[in-house]
Copies of this chain bind each other. A is one copy, B any other.
């Protein structure tokens, strides 16, 4: 058994999700030879990092990420801080020979992403970007069905990620909780935060995107900035939608917003093939919908598959409880952490690597460019 010593940077929502994942891996994936150990956690807020370490069981703390990445007792650096810091930390950590697990989106723009991918490749270190939804059992099952050829030629792909938490003008920008509304910290709004998930899943399931036309909007033009206490212009996109064409000839339709009253985290995708179609919705993440045209005519219909079966039927589920008993959001992170540990054992890269995630970054960038130029953008 090899201990893989984790050094986490960032004590926010994602820091919690990653910490929980590592804690669960030994319980649910006991056969793994590489076992994560919570070695150190780093946050610039000294009070906060102490409490976090105690709550999650980290052996030590740091307040300067540069210290953390230099520590010889750290094997993996996990980057769970706002997007604007990803590049600098990742490049420095790679230079120290650390493995890196980076939160999505990879970075602020493709130039940064190229630098990051080059850095980890030069250093020869394991690296991965946390597009966790790939490892939801229902999504993994969709991937397996598509790859099996069951759908045949693909005609359509559509996906959206709709939220409603920004409708109130009193939500501020900047700071620890709302840095996603501050363009300086996040780089973009829903495009990097939400559409990035849609795009990563789409590319994984349906292949590359070659051309896009997009539209963005900022509905609320000014919000109070937490750091200045003043009303400041909002620089991010509140909503973004785009049309696209995939390499395989299918048509795509994507939409994201934080102004869709009634949707808290409605991440959906649907793919229509010649023979069958699939649908998924994060709000009921344990279900996959499938329509199979090869069913006999009288009994053709959308099947609601409760993705909780054992015996190899449903990815990852044998690890958990018994059929019919659903798992939740956090489990995608547990599966991701386990697959990453497994990859260290086998030496195979664990997808999506930085290089893989660059493709999503490129689509995001093309989308924002298209919206800004008012024209189609090529990839």
Which residues of A does B touch, CB under 8 Å? 13, 17, 19-20, 23-24, 26-27, 30, 51, 54-57, 141, 144-145, 155-156, 158, 162-165, 167, 213-215, 217, 219, 239, 241-243, 245, 251, 253, 255, 257, 259-266, 272-277, 282-293, 295, 297-306, 308-309, 311-314, 320-331, 374-376
Contact = CB atoms under 8 A, between A and B. Distances in A.
Contacts of A56: 27
A239 B154 CA distance: 13
Q: Which of A51, A266, A304, A313 has the most CB of B within 10 A?
A: A304
Contacts of A277: 260-263
Chief secondary structure at chain A's binding surface: mixed
A47 B96 CA distance: 43
Nearest to A165: B323
Contacts of A306: 264, 283, 301
Contacts of A164: 272, 293
A180 B163 CA distance: 38
A259 B155 contact: yes
A326 B328 contact: yes
A36 to B, nearest CB: 14
A288 B239 CA distance: 25
Given A215-B245, A242-B243, A155 B260 contact: yes
